[in-house]
Amino acid sequence: MKTTSRLQLQLMLQNGVFALLLIAAAGLLVWVAKDSRVQWDLTSGQRNSLSDATRKVLANMKGPIKLTAYATTRDATQGNLRQQVAEFVAPYQRAKPDVTLQFIDPTSNPNETRAANVRMNGEIIVAYGDRSEHLTTLNEQTMTNMLQRLLRGKEQQVAWVMGHGEPALDGRANFDLGSFGQQLSTKGFRTTPLNLAVAQEVPDNISVLVLTPPRTPLQKGEVTKIRNYLERGGNLLWLIDPGSLNGLEPIAEYLGVILSPGVVVDPLGAKLGAAPTTAIGVAYGMHPITEGFTLNTVFPFARKIEAKQGNGDWHAARLVEVAQGGWLETDDVNKDVRFDKGRDVPGPITIAIAQERKVKDKDQRVTLFGGSGFLTNAFVGNGGNIDLGVNTLNWLAQDENLITIQPRPTVDSQLKLSQNGVNLLGFVFLILVPAIFLFTGGTIWWRRRKA
């Protein structure tokens, strides 16, 4: 086809119109997208998105959250701290628009920094209502724990009975509950030991009393103090191992619970490589503690526990059910473990219940677990054990709005490059690759023109 001046003019006009339309489309796309908040997080574990647990906490915080970051623009070891803080806070601002961030340079404002008791570069003061806390570690779990404490408003007092060889909430042995106690501290609980041989009564300012399995019997007077506490409407978490109650039988009678002898045998635990006396919790009751709870839990040496029928003014609910294909072993579990029809109790077995009632217009709450093992240092990190324990304490302390699954830890790491690596990437993708495209396009254009 012969190229005429008229045809060349038409082609130029077509190309010009196409270029104008392309520029107009790009401008329209920028105009539409400038206020868009749609994002996709393609990172492993969605590390740039907030977990459902954090979003739930933020949704419960009705007022504004003010963050004041004392950070310099550059730090000799940590780089641009302000950028790091801004990137960390950005997901919280997207989830809750009234999260504000203000920067203060500690080198330019030393007096203000000292007055705020700021000790390190990059430290953040998080304020909500009339309460505030200092944040020094930039990760979601630490931030969410802090927000929960601010939302709680006041420290809840948790006391555990001691003096009889009980597992302690500050102990480090495998059978102790020290890791669980530390987790409670991050959530705004204050844990303290209580020796009833010395104390006149269980203090009224105790939000939750914790009973762990005693190794030696409690004295009658100590048991009376526990019962007086319950009669006043006190809240209780009772962890009950198989075997003797060591003097706490009157408390079980007062609460109207049936503690069947024996240890739960769960074939599911054996399939997962655990001992047959390790029960796996996969079925949960309809209750605020376990609402939406889908994590597996691990209960070593669990016992059956249930509420009596027509148990006065107590309202009971099942929390955890295990051993759907197992049974309650009534013989010695150290010998040949097998189901004996007529002697052993076939599963499923209930190993945890929650009870509540009204006492003088006050809601009283009690939870009982057939075994302390799931919260011990040796097992608390398995499955959802820590989540179930924290949810239970939140419910007992009348803070069910804080019941949630713990924020996930970061699973993928950051990619850190040297300056030479950054320069190489910049050369490849900003210079070399565009140059290759330009050369290829120019070559194709030249060949078509020659043709």
6 in a structural domain? no
Q: What pLDDT score was predicted for residue 412?
A: 47
11 in a structural domain? no
Looking up residue 53, the CATH number of its domain turns out to be 3.40.30.10
Averaged pLDDT of the chain: 87
* Model confidence pTM above 0.85: no
Q: What are phi and psi of 12, to 5 degrees?
A: -65, -40
77 in a structural domain? yes
Q: Name the domain count of the chain.
A: 2
335 in a structural domain? yes
Positive/negative CA dihedral, 377, 379, 384, 389: negative
Same domain, 107 and 121: yes
Same domain, 118 and 195: no
Which residues have a Cβ under 8 Å from the Cβ of 88 and sit 6 or more positions away? 138
Among the listed ranges 48-52, 260-264, 415-419, which one has the minimum average pLDDT value? Answer: 415-419
For every residue of 13-75, DSSP letters joined together read: HHHHHHHHHHHHHHHHHHHHHTT-------SGGGTTS--HHHHHHHHH--S-EEEEEE--S-B
Residue 49 burial (C-beta neighbours within 10 Å; 0-12, 13-18, 19+) = middle
- SS3 of 101, please? strand
For every residue of 246-315, DSSP letters joined together read: TT-HHHHHHHTEEE-SSEEE-HHHHHTTS-TTEEEE-EE-SSTTTTT----EEEET---EEEPTT-TT-E
Measured CA to CA in angstroms, residue 296 lies from 112, 178, 355 at distances of: 49, 22, 23
Which residues have a Cβ under 8 Å from the Cβ of 6 and sit 6 or more positions away? none
Same domain, 139 and 160: no
Instruction: List the end-to-end C-alpha distance of the chain, in Å, as a whole number.
Output: 12
pLDDT band at residue 253 under the 50/70/90 scheme: very high
**Tokens describing residue 329:** 């072993």
Residue 126, sorted as left (phi over 0), alpha (psi -120 to 50) or beta, turns out to be beta
Measured CA to CA in angstroms, residue 85 lies from 112, 138, 192, 267 at distances of: 19, 8, 35, 49
The helix (H) or strand (E) run that includes residue 194 is strand 189-194
Among the listed ranges 16-20, 131-135, 216-220, 286-290, which one has the minimum average pLDDT value? Answer: 16-20
97 in a structural domain? yes
Same domain, 309 and 392: yes
Looking up residue 342, the CATH number of its domain turns out to be 3.40.50.880
For every residue of 391-442, DSSP letters joined together read: HHHHHHTT-GGG--PPPPPP-S------HHHHHHHHHIIIIIHHHHHHHHHH
Same domain, 50 and 176: no
pLDDT in tens, 7-53: 677 777 777 777 788 788 877 777 766 555 555 555 555 566 788 88
Q: What pLDDT score was predicted for residue 405?
A: 62
Measured CA to CA in angstroms, residue 375 lies from 5, 9, 157, 371, 385 at distances of: 87, 82, 19, 9, 7
426 in a structural domain? no
Measured CA to CA in angstroms, residue 187 lies from 50, 235, 263, 409 at distances of: 18, 18, 33, 16
Contact predicate 304/279, CB 8 Å: no
Last residue of a domain, one of 92, 117, 149: 149
Same domain, 276 and 321: yes
Side chain identity at residue 61, one-letter code: M
Last residue of a domain, one of 119, 149, 179: 149
Determine the longest span between alpha carbons in the chain, in angstroms. Answer: 114
User: What is the C-alpha separation between 183 and 142, in angstroms, rounded?
Assistant: 11
For every residue of 305-346, DSSP letters joined together read: EEEPTT-TT-EEEEEEEE-TT-EEE-S-TTS-----TTTSEE
Last residue of a domain, one of 118, 149, 180: 149
198 in a structural domain? yes
User: What is the C-alpha separation between 369 and 374, in angstroms, rounded?
Assistant: 9
Residues for the chain: how many in total? 451
Q: What pLDDT score was predicted for residue 189?
A: 93
**Tokens describing residue 156:** 């809840």
pLDDT in tens, 320-374: 999 999 999 988 877 778 888 888 899 899 999 999 999 988 899 999 999 999 9
388 in a structural domain? yes
Residue 134 burial (C-beta neighbours within 10 Å; 0-12, 13-18, 19+) = middle
Same domain, 177 and 117: no
Same domain, 129 and 259: no
Q: What pLDDT score was predicted for residue 206?
A: 94
Among the listed ranges 39-53, 95-109, 118-132, 211-225, which one has the minimum average pLDDT value? Answer: 39-53
Same domain, 360 and 275: yes
Domain containing residue 343: 154-402
Same domain, 107 and 169: no
Same domain, 137 and 160: no
Same domain, 336 and 366: yes
Q: What pLDDT score was predicted for residue 73?
A: 83
